Homo-oligomer: A and B are copies of this chain.
Amino acid sequence: MSSALRVIPLGGLSEIGMNLMVYEYGDAAVIVDCGMMFPDAATLGVDVIVPDMTYLFENAEKLKAVFLTHGHEDHIGALPFLIERAPLPVYGMPLTLGFVKDKLDEFEIEADLRPMQPRDVVEAGPFAVEAIRVTHSIVDALGFAITTPLGTVIHTGDFKIDHTPIDAKPTDLARFAHHGELGVLLLVSDSTNALVPGHGPSERTVGGALDRLFSAAKGRIIVTSFASHIHRVQQVIDLARKFRRKVLLVGRSLVDNIETAERLGYLRFPREVRAGSADLLPRETVIMTTGTQGEPSSALARMAVGEHKQIEIEKGDVVIISARTIPGNERAVAHLIDNLYRRGAEVVSHEQPDVHVSGHACEEELKLMINVTRPKFFIPMHGTLRHLIHHARLAESVGVPHGVVITNGQVAEIDGESIRTLEDRVPNGKVFIDAEAEEVPEVVVRDRQHLAEDGFVIVVVAIDSMGRLVREPEIITRGLVHVDESQDVLEEVRGELAGMFAESPPDELRDSDLLQERMRALLKRYFRKNMGRRPLILPVIWEM
């Protein structure tokens, strides 16, 4: 049994999203976070993407527990897919577990959820895991101090250094410093904003910007933000009260999250600020809704095209998009904004100052974290390779030269005195999940991409026992040519196929594999030569 500490990222290191880190010592391991990511436009018909967890399933007997830093989808979204195959105790703050519970209920999965408070310590095999409060764009966010037989690992989780958070509960720098004093073996820290100089603004600055917008608005105010951003929601509720407006919540994920947050005491939503329906005067109304990323099925996107049942966008409405645009969604968000303008609304987005602030630490905050923990070794997490490399350089610039950049599936091994990266990766990658929570095999996604590029051609021929055509070949095609207007093309293909059959010697006509291959080659050549296209080609032979 190895007496080294092994750090194994299965997600989040080199690709943003689906964060999953494994800390392993001897025959024991703990998991920190288990997130998903959303697909891009090229991953077709896929609903969510989760990390390949083969390594966990193959080492299930080692796993002691899952620790969750916070309740964002990229940190908890893959949990049902882990728990259903490897039931484990799941530790996290009450709001995090509240969101997890909602998710597990959807999947009808039971789990052993164990609430944790900051500075609580949980023993898990050879590990002692202490929760340390951090500020982030969701309440109840944690970092962990994981004490191992070789020393202490600080796993920051997603964090920023906000000295004036809305709940007055700042990042527990004293505790991080305490561990720094005792000696930290390894710091694993958030790289999201490793390329952003300076210090990020406090969440409270958003309140100021929203206050100015509320004060200027003459009509209805529509605010969209991430559904889990409870402090942002609280600030909107507080401002609504101040400006004597009522808040109407629209969008299922928002309603669910707010209900959970309120039930657990994280949100004050006084009765007199609640709107019972949309039938208020515009100047009395604040609508909070979902759809910051321009998702076509979101409430805001449907309002923007006049297809929302309850809300119609009107001239004079001010729409505040209080969230950043996730890379890849820029066109969708631009379309959303244009559609809103088309209906006469004014749109204020994150491009205007302080309408949104990041939940992640910028360069100076990252340096601060490195300086208070003073780790022996450093592994940057949560970012593209570029971010990880820059974060490692940042660490070097403040006197931590032993930054090791690893990416998903790579294993960093620490024996106390040195850190090294193992040659072999553990299985890693993306698993595609469709809307029914079923896995979509990669070959299916690849076929879809092929279909999407060039369409398909299927040819069915019926032959007799001598290999002679008993009727005209049937050609079925979509996504390649306009079928009704291209009968001449299809006629020509049929002619070429008939010619091929007529000219083949009798013995070859009885070899259906050979015939299929010939048909495929003929069609491939035809469409490439005549149309410059490479459709998916499927020849079918029926012996009648």
A residues at B contact (CB < 8 Å): 14, 40-42, 44-45, 195, 327-328, 330-331, 334, 337-338, 341-342, 347, 351, 384-386, 389, 434-436, 438, 441, 443-444, 447-449, 451-456, 458, 460, 462, 470-471, 474, 476, 478-482, 485, 531-533, 536, 538, 540, 542, 544
Which chain B residues lie closer than 8 Å to A42 at the CB level? 41
* Set B14, B452, B471: member contacting A451, Cβ < 8 A: B452
Knowing A451-B456, A474-B542, say if A338 contacts B444 (CB, 8 Å).
no
Are A471 and B542 in touch, CB under 8 angstroms?
yes
Are A342 and B385 in touch, CB under 8 angstroms?
yes
Give Cα distance in the complex from A479 to B395, angstroms. Answer: 46
Shortest Cβ distance from residue A461 to the other chain B in the assembled complex, whole angstroms: 11
Nearest first, the 7 A-B pairs at minimum CB distance are A452-B452, A41-B41, A327-B330, A436-B532, A451-B451, A448-B479, A44-B452
Give Cα distance in the complex from A14 to B341, angstroms. Answer: 11
Which chain B residues lie closer than 8 Å to A478 at the CB level? 444, 447, 451, 456, 536, 538
Give Cα distance in the complex from A536 to B478, angstroms. Answer: 9
Give Cα distance in the complex from A338 to B387, angstroms. Answer: 9
A-B contact list, 21 entries, CB within 8 Å: A14-B338, A41-B42, A44-B453, A45-B453, A45-B455, A45-B479, A327-B330, A328-B330, A334-B384, A338-B385, A444-B480, A448-B452, A448-B455, A451-B451, A451-B455, A451-B456, A460-B540, A462-B544, A470-B544, A471-B544, A474-B542
**Further contacts, 16 of them, CB under 8 A, given A44-B453, A451-B455:** A41-B42, A327-B331, A337-B384, A337-B386, A347-B386, A435-B532, A444-B479, A447-B455, A447-B479, A448-B452, A452-B452, A456-B456, A458-B476, A470-B544, A476-B540, A544-B544
Give Cα distance in the complex from A529 to B462, angstroms. Answer: 33
Shortest Cβ distance from residue A524 to the other chain B in the assembled complex, whole angstroms: 16
Knowing A40-B331, A330-B328, A448-B452, say if A460 contacts B474 (CB, 8 Å).
yes
Give Cα distance in the complex from A326 to B474, angstroms. Answer: 44
Which chain B residues lie closer than 8 Å to A456 at the CB level? 451, 456, 478
Give Cα distance in the complex from A280 to B381, angstroms. Answer: 38
* Set B40, B327, B482, B532: member contacting A434, Cβ < 8 A: B532
Are B444 and A384 in touch, CB under 8 angstroms?
no
Give Cα distance in the complex from A434 to B481, angstroms. Answer: 11
Give Cα distance in the complex from A438 to B485, angstroms. Answer: 14
Shortest Cβ distance from residue A180 to the other chain B in the assembled complex, whole angstroms: 30
Which chain B residues lie closer than 8 Å to A337 at the CB level? 384, 386
Are A334 and B327 in touch, CB under 8 angstroms?
yes
Give Cα distance in the complex from A331 to B45, angstroms. Answer: 18
* Set B327, B482, B540: member contacting A443, Cβ < 8 A: B482
Knowing A330-B330, A532-B435, say if A386 contacts B14 (CB, 8 Å).
no
Query: In the complex, what residue of chain B is closest to A442 when comparing beta carbons?
Result: B482
